[in-house]
């Protein structure tokens, strides 16, 4: 099990990133790992992961991040945030 990224670390990466920079913000099964009950993460780690994932989703909703996934094993996915260029209009 990996230690979840913290909000300050995620925000620091985002502030310093240039368009096209990417960051793996979680390795595992994000939906399962964020959920109370099914997650095998300790509560503090699960809660931290939930906050980071929510922040990434909010930035993606604003068109400032692209969120992609890459399967690295049968039950392990890399969740990647890529800083958007911001020079193209968002599609609705």
Extract the tokens encoding 16: 């310093």
Residues in contact with 82: Cβ distance below 8 Å, sequence separation at least 6, in sequence order: 20, 21, 22, 23, 65, 66, 67, 68
The DSSP H or E segment spanning 49 is helix 43-61
**pLDDT, tens digit only, all 92 positions of the chain:** 567 789 999 999 999 999 999 999 999 999 998 888 888 888 999 999 999 999 999 999 999 999 999 999 998 999 999 999 875 555 55
Give Cα 65 to chain centroid, integer Å: 10
Q: Please, are residues 7 and 51 in contact by the beta-carbon 8 Å criterion?
A: yes
The pLDDT assigned to 2 comes to 63
Enumerate the domain spans of the chain.
1-11+24-76
d(CA 26, CA 50): 10
**Measured distance CA(70)–CA(31) in Å, rounded:** 15
């Amino acid at each position: 099990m990996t230690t979840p990224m913290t909000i300050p670390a995620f925000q620091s990466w985002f502030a310093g990133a240039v368009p096209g920079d990417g960051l793996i913000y979680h390795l595992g099964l994000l939906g399962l790992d964020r959920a109370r009950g099914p997650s095998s993460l300790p509560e503090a780690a699960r809660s931290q992961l939930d906050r980071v994932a929510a922040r990434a989703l909010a930035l993606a909703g604003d068109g400032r991040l692209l969120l992609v996934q890459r399967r690295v094993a049968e039950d392990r996915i890399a969740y990647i945030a890529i800083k958007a260029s911001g020079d193209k209009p968002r599609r609705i």
